[in-house]
A and B are shown apart, each in its own frame.
Chain A
Amino acid sequence: MTESTGRIETIAGPVVKCSGLPSVRMYEVVRVGTQKLIGEVIEVSDKEFTAQVYEETSGLAPGEPVISTGDSLSVELGPGLLGAIYDGIQRPLPELREMSGDFISRGLNVDALNKEKKWEFKPSVEVGAKVSPGDIIGKVPETGILTTMIMIPVGVQGEVVEIASEDEYTVIETICKVKDSHGDIHDVIMMQRTPVRVGRGFKDRAPMDTPLLTGQRVIDTFMPQAKGGTGAIPGGFGTGKTVTLHQFAKWADAQVVVYVGCGERGNEMTEALEEWPSLKDPKSGRPLMERTVLIANTSNMPVAAREASIYVAVTIAEYFRDQGFDVALMADSTSRWAEALREISGRLGQLPSEEGYPAYLGSRLAQFYERGGRVKTLASDERLGSITICGAVSPPGGDFSEPVTQATLRIVKVFWALDKDLAARRFFPAINTLTSYSLYHSTLKKWHIENLGEDWPELVKESLALLQKDQELREIVQLVGPDALPESERAILEAARMIKEDFLTQSALHEIDTYSPIGKTYRMLRVIIGFTQRMAAAVKMGVQVKRILDLSVLDNIARMKITPLDTYEEQMDAVEKKMEREFKSLLQELSDSGLLSEPVV
């Protein structure tokens, strides 16, 4: 590593201009000032260069030294990531607290991974095996949920000449030696270091044919996400972006979740830290924190580190993807990241485009989302891994025409539109079913039919049609009042009301309702659509909607949400039977008293 010294020339907020260091490269990490603040080179000219500093720059003065490190901004990958909480440049916050107390001070240098902790390593290759980058040479049961795969790093290829026996090792002890074709021996350790600004390599992209189930009915039904897909969730404040992303992080059926709180509230990260360790993964019954990596750059933490936090997060996600896992990455919020870009760009004096954002906003966003996807990993076996990216967008004033929302919508395939009016009526999740969309419906169709039922696409279509019709009828009701509608249209209003109240609304706070497995979601929708079809048929025969609304099965339907997960099958069967029975006897009764316009068939 080469170390030489330059000096600070000017300082303006997080942007520092320096001189000296003729060999400094773009995106190289430098240590700035006597406190050795961490910075990154973002502009290089003939005699000078500019660095963005990842820590508060108060008190920094011109003339102080700048040291080059020769390294670009990198993350440490290996056992110890799961359950950790890092700041925007992968410094572990618990260790920072130990060093500097409750408030974050400056110039602290902490390793991202604990270099002393020993991990149980189980080799899975033998001496003589041919290995290439990405191949798994051993496993570390890191948490109760996940076993981390130890892979051959990029640049190492050849024959295993030595492999550690099953024992405990630190992440920097040599566990494997590989002889390449020139006869050189490479030491392999468990930890890998990867620069964050370029994606980790993979062989090929793979089709996205499996849904990422979120346990949220409105999403899994109407705008499903695919494993490896990209989605955005824009909404003004108070519409529930963060709650929705937290719900994803808690219940999505990914094996690893990377959650980056980018320029958001400190208390939200605290909520995650306090709540998630006590929540159980529905599959393994282990604490959810064991599959989660948290990255926190709250809004009061330095702005330059906000720009980096997104890349740190996605690189960590790629590391788990390369092991063959399905990873979900939540970024809350990409708007704050874009604002950080804007702030730095402004201080560099770059020409602004729309609303002061730099002209490269769109391409940077696209580069970020493109790091998601389902891929065949580098390894010599046919391993598949995926990264699903869900980004929150915070449009100023809730106006979706602003640059960040628009640039994001050009890239992502799923759009969950949060609606201020729904939120004001305390209708949660406040996702507007009519304006949101998913472009994965067709690729996921096969999975849905095979795993749920033949009728799934029909049920979804029919519910959407009812909601659409409801919207139109409501506009009429606004003008003429509800009395003017014919019975058949009143039935549609009631049907839509049932879909909304008994299916779409879902309480994130209720212990059962918070997570709805896809099987339960399917059964609930089948019951509700079944009811609405019977209602429509009965109304056609001359039954008044009022009479149908008196049926006691409606109480059962309203309680479907909170049916326990282990008994919902039987209970839904019972509800379907009861519904059948009650409709039959109602029609019989009315038919006997001659009140039906058409006879019962």
Chain B
Amino acid sequence: MSNTSIVYRSVSDVSGPLLIVENTHDVSYNEVVKVRAPNGELLTGTVLETGRGRAIIQVFEGTSGLDADITAVRFTGETMHLPVSTEILGRVLDGAGNPLDKGPPLTAEDHWDIYGSPINPYARQYPRQPIQTGLSSIDGLNTLVRGQKLPIFSGSGLPHNRIAAQIVRQAKIPGEESDFAIVFGAMGITATEAQYFMDSFEETGALEHTALFLNLANDPAIERIITPRAALTAAEYLAYESDLHVLVILTDMTNYAEALREISAARSEIPGRRGYPGYLYTDLSLIYERAGRIKGRKGTITQMPILSMPQDDMTHPIPDLTGYITEGQIIVGRSVHRRGIYPPIDPGPSLSRLMKEGIGEGMTRFDHKEVQAQLYYGYSEGCDLRDLVAVVGAEALTERDQKYLKFADRFEAEFINQGEFEDRSFEQTLDIGWDLLSDFPERELKRCDPDTISWAKNQNLYKSS
């Protein structure tokens, strides 16, 4: 480890977000660096490369104002740590974990390395219990499971921030409300958006069980590298030391990946696709894989990263690599949005891989799997028919086809569509599903067990004649 009392003034180069210091001794990889700018400002960075008396440092606040003459650099001998305690709930912090809310400095039960360590796959437990978001399009069709990482893929101009805020307000574990917490990490969002989130959480009281990490659009881009890691470190403490079920929402991962690209370019690394570094997959997985459930521990970490797809292109490296790591994806669809539906979640390409184990008797309701399959079948039939109608006209359709066409419309208007402050329970969501399925005669419900159908009849949920 480096000698922490030495102050280096041997900066040889400032380029982009990087600072190069010469004549260093025994500086270790990834350690935290304090940089004193000529104007007296104190900046923070970490070591990206070290050796042969030279260290390359990335400066989180950016390098503006730094020079090769007066700038002083001190190595701290430690990797980056975050003070952790349960008092972080209710606080608003900047992207590096410093208070923004005029409150006192964070109290620390402990200091945790923000890079964490990989969970031993043998220590993991398979996620099996749901989280209720209050949105039918998620709860009913692609349920979020505790310990899962389920991203929201959106695009510019789509209301993913409203959806995120609604999830933060409404998300809960029915029956275990008090063991639930939210960590919200924002990377490069605008001041207006940040204000919207804070107001929205404060009004509804959601702030009490939420910790906010805000890196705004005009904050230094490189700080975005640490924001999700700081947020996840706080989440790990809350989950594994304080037994809470933590939902981590990270928005917008596209800004994060862009910051990563900026550093990579500054180091003149060989770029992979679209200029993103070749290690983007590994880097993203170091964030996403911090979700999970561990044998013998009560708390869990569930992640909902939000990312905006450039030009709605799902094959763009960021959504593409994310999809390979996460356990499914929720798609905010532009055409659904144009039809005036809120939340405009497109069920077709959306998928929750862990849902099958997280729903059913004792978790949501026993009929959930069948209702979900039947709704999916009906909606995709209806959508196929919409295409056909465009070619041959509605008159050419059979009576059965007309029903499916009508069903698809009702499904969008009543099931997917809901108010921004409407919080539906799992039961309410499934009941709406049965109400829609009532348009079909019993023999059309091939995805449902006859026993389930008669149960639904008895409960007066399924009302087909």
- In the complex, identify which listed stretch (B116-124, B189-197, B205-213, B451-459) lies at the interface while the others stay far away: B116-124
Within 8 A of B (CB), among A471-499: 478-479, 481, 483
- Pair A270/B26 contact, Cβ less than 8 Å: no
Within 8 A of B (CB), among A48-104: 56-63, 85, 93-94, 96-97, 100-104
| In the complex, chain B residues whose CB is within 8 Å of the CB of A299 | 281-282, 285-286, 289, 325
A271: Cβ under 8 A from any B Cβ: yes
- Pair B126/A270 contact, Cβ less than 8 Å: yes
CB distance from A513 to the nearest CB of B (A): 15
- Pair A10/B118 contact, Cβ less than 8 Å: no
- Pair A59/B28 contact, Cβ less than 8 Å: yes
Q: How many A-B residue pairs have CB under 8 A?
A: 187
CB distance from A54 to the nearest CB of B (A): 13
* A61-B26, A274-B126, A424-B349 known; A301+B118 contact, CB < 8 A: yes
Q: Give the residue name and chain of the A residue nearest to B396 (CB).
A: A481
Instruction: Report how far A425 CA is from B125 CA in the complex, Å.
Output: 30
Residues of A within 8 A of B (CB): 8-13, 17, 56-63, 85, 93-94, 96-97, 100-105, 236-238, 261, 263, 265-267, 269-271, 273-274, 296, 298-301, 303, 336, 339, 342-343, 346, 352, 355-356, 394, 396-399, 424-426, 478-479, 481, 483, 509
CB distance from B322 to the nearest CB of A (A): 9
Q: Which one of A267, A355, A509 contacts B126 once the chains associate, using CB atoms below 8 Å?
A: A267
Q: Which one of A9, A93, A352 contacts B121 once the chains associate, using CB atoms below 8 Å?
A: A93
CB distance from A294 to the nearest CB of B (A): 9
- Pair B29/A59 contact, Cβ less than 8 Å: yes
- Pair B147/A267 contact, Cβ less than 8 Å: yes
Q: Give the residue name and chain of the A residue nearest to B354 (CB).
A: A267
- In the complex, identify which listed stretch (B63-71, B129-137, B271-279) lies at the interface while the others stay far away: B271-279
* Binary contact track B4-35/A, C-beta < 8 Å → 1, others 0: 00000000000000000000011111110000
| In the complex, chain A residues whose CB is within 8 Å of the CB of B115 | 56, 58
B198: Cβ under 8 A from any A Cβ: no
- Pair A61/B2 contact, Cβ less than 8 Å: yes
| In the complex, chain B residues whose CB is within 8 Å of the CB of A397 | 314-316, 320
Q: Among B51, B52, B376, which residue has the most Cβ atoms of chain A within 10 A? A: B51
Q: Give the residue name and chain of the B residue nearest to A102 (CB).
A: B123
State the interface size on chain B (CB cutoff 8 A).
Answer: 72
Q: Which one of A104, A270, A356, A479 contacts B117 once the chains associate, using CB atoms below 8 Å?
A: A104
Residues of B within 8 A of A (CB): 1-2, 25-31, 48-52, 79, 115-127, 147-148, 240, 269-273, 278-279, 281-282, 285-286, 289-290, 292, 294-295, 297, 314-317, 320-321, 323-325, 327-329, 348-349, 351, 353-354, 356, 376, 380, 388, 391-392, 396
Q: Among B147, B278, B281, B320, which residue has the most Cβ atoms of chain A within 10 A? A: B278
- Pair B391/A479 contact, Cβ less than 8 Å: yes
| In the complex, chain B residues whose CB is within 8 Å of the CB of A61 | 1-2, 26-29, 50
Instruction: Report how far A296 CA is from B124 CA in the complex, Å.
Output: 12
Q: Give the residue name and chain of the A residue nearest to B24 (CB).
A: A62
Q: Give the residue name and chain of the A residue nearest to B376 (CB).
A: A426
Task: Classify the interface of chain A: helix, strand, loop or mixed.
Answer: mixed
CB distance from A26 to the nearest CB of B (A): 22
- Pair A96/B120 contact, Cβ less than 8 Å: yes
* A238-B323, A426-B376 known; A103+B28 contact, CB < 8 A: no
Task: Give me 6 A-to-B residue pairs in the complex whose CB atoms sit less than 8 angstroms apart, sorted by A's number.
Answer: A11-B29, A12-B48, A59-B29, A63-B26, A303-B282, A396-B317
CB distance from B377 to the nearest CB of A (A): 8
Q: Which one of B49, B116, B122, B349 contacts A10 once the chains associate, using CB atoms below 8 Å?
A: B49
Instruction: Report how far A397 CA is from B322 CA in the complex, Å.
Output: 11
- Pair B51/A104 contact, Cβ less than 8 Å: no
CB distance from B268 to the nearest CB of A (A): 11
| In the complex, chain A residues whose CB is within 8 Å of the CB of B123 | 97, 101-103
* A339-B281, A397-B315 known; A356+B271 contact, CB < 8 A: yes
| In the complex, chain B residues whose CB is within 8 Å of the CB of A85 | 121-122
Instruction: Report how far A425 CA is from B1 CA in the complex, Å.
Output: 56
Q: Known A-B contacts: A63-B26, A339-B281. Give 8 more (CB < 8 A).
A: A94-B122, A103-B118, A238-B329, A269-B121, A270-B126, A298-B285, A299-B281, A343-B282
| In the complex, chain A residues whose CB is within 8 Å of the CB of B272 | 342, 355-356
